[in-house]
Chain A
Amino acid sequence: DIVMTQAPLSVSVTPGESASISCRSSKSLLHSNGITYVYWYLQKPGKSPQLLIYRMSNLASGVPDRFSGSGSETDFTLKISRVEAEDVGIYYCGQLLENPRTFGGGTKLELK
């Protein structure tokens, strides 16, 4: 199984500042078709996860452009610029390259 490792476990950010979350996969997520199958989700308190970034760097519909994704074949970063109160929650990276689909352990974002 592909192991997804996230860091840090939690991050505390002043509103208006930026935050970065890292994710590493135990295997390359770059498919021969050129697509990197890493995704980012946000789970707000008491809610279902919501898609933020798909295929490493594509912004999902309705997601503010303060969010961006980048990376290589095995190392990925989610950056949140100008953090707002509505960004609070747990962020998960996930790989949809192969079964079983797997997720990182999550990074909790809080406001200072």
Chain B
Amino acid sequence: EVQLQQSGAELVRPGTSVKLSCKVSGDTITAYYMHFVKQRPGQGLEWIGRIDPEDDSTKYAEKFKNKATLTADTSSNTAYLKLSSLTSEDTATYFCTTGGSFAYWGQGTLVTVSS
């Protein structure tokens, strides 16, 4: 069974960057696209973008094009989400999800942006 293990919670300062990880077990990371989804406290789900670990091609939602960068490392079966120029609006839980139907989800990483 595919499992996604995400990195731990982060407390970061405004204006800085943070890099979150999502490690795949139970299959190779190249089997599916890896997507990332944002959920602000008490809010709904917002798609950030996806990466094809096979060729590192990416697609982003328009509002995240200057905010998020997706990368993948096939040797460690891990995908990464880097968020830059952080503000309070970036305080949220970030999920990775994969499988053709978003069948598999990580446990989420809480990012808190505060001075």
Contacts and interface: CB of A to CB of B under 8 A. Distances in A.
B47 A54 contact: no
B45 A48 contact: no
Interface residues of B, number: 21
Contact of A96 (B45, B49, B101): B101
Contacts, number: 52
A92 interface: yes
B62 to A, nearest CB: 7
Interface in B28-65: 35, 44-47, 49-50, 59, 61-62
Contacts of A103: 44-47
B44 A41 contact: no
B108 A48 contact: yes
Given A51-B101, A55-B101, A94-B102, A100 B47 contact: yes
Contacts of A100: 47, 49, 61-62
